[in-house]
Chain A
Amino acid sequence: MKIWSTEHVFSYPWETVIKAAMRKYPNPMNPNVVGVDVLDRSLDAEGRLHSHRLLSTEWGLPGIVRAILGTNHTQTYVKEHSIVDPEEKKMELCSTNITLTNLISVDERLLYRPHPDNPDVTVLTQEAIITVKGVSLSSYLEGMMARRMSANARKGWDAIEWIIQNSERENVPLCDIY
């Protein structure tokens, strides 16, 4: 089992960041996410928005890894549950793979909150537990997965920034002379 966690600060207010997070895919930094669907969405008694989504991802696992894991599957499915609390300014996402579960388990949790010292910026805390099952070299593979997740996390942050910047551009007219 490998536990991995990281923290990142976006120089944008919380509302801007989570609007982008809700529209994260597609983006050029995460080409491995090839399909996203909302399975369920509802408001709870406290006014928080719950969303259950299904993501299909192409991991692009190197051939040797696929050979070790004994699988030729290239597309995996991930289920994600998110909760947006507009009063507390908290967005929490939890995701887990629902295929290849006999081989590997990747549970990830993301939490977006305004920075406690500066309400104009947003902190993302991200953590994952990775478990490779029943295979020798499991700690090697887990280490490799953790490194891949670090790289993907960085891409994820860039993706959010990209979405924010591209949305801002849409709203700003090019010329002031209209």
Chain B
Amino acid sequence: MNSVGEACTDLKREYDQCFNRWFAEKFLKGDRSGDPCTETFRRYQRCVQKAIKEKDIPVDGVDFMGPNKDKPES
């Protein structure tokens, strides 16, 4: 699966692999020991946030957990 920012796809895959392993082998088994993915996530995020700005994707200002929230027009 690609990232929304094409240049970030490799970083995304690296992070996803780390996360999926932690999720299945630690988190779901009740292991609350540290998150091994913070570094890869940071690198990946730097790239994604840049891509979001460049593409002008309106990620902010939409708060929700449930429907019926007013959204900014775009």
Which residues of A does B touch, CB under 8 Å? 15, 18-19, 22-23, 25-26, 33-39, 41, 43, 47, 49, 54, 56, 77, 79, 81, 83-84, 86, 94, 96, 98-102, 105, 107, 109, 129
B71 nearest CB neighbor, chain A only: A101
Chain B residues whose CB sits within 8 angstroms of the CB of A100 once the complex forms: 74
Q: Which residue of B lies closest to A50 (CB)?
A: B65
Q: B residues bordering A, Cβ < 8 Å?
A: 1-5, 8, 12, 15-16, 19-20, 23-24, 27-28, 30, 32, 41, 44-45, 48, 52, 57-59, 62, 64-69, 71-74
Cα–Cα, bound, A81→B4 (Å): 17
Contact A101 B65 (CB under 8 A): no
A-B contact pairs, 11 of them (CB 8 A): A23-B20, A25-B1, A26-B1, A37-B3, A39-B45, A39-B48, A96-B69, A98-B58, A101-B71, A101-B73, A107-B64
- Name which residue of chain B comes closest to A55, CB basis: B4
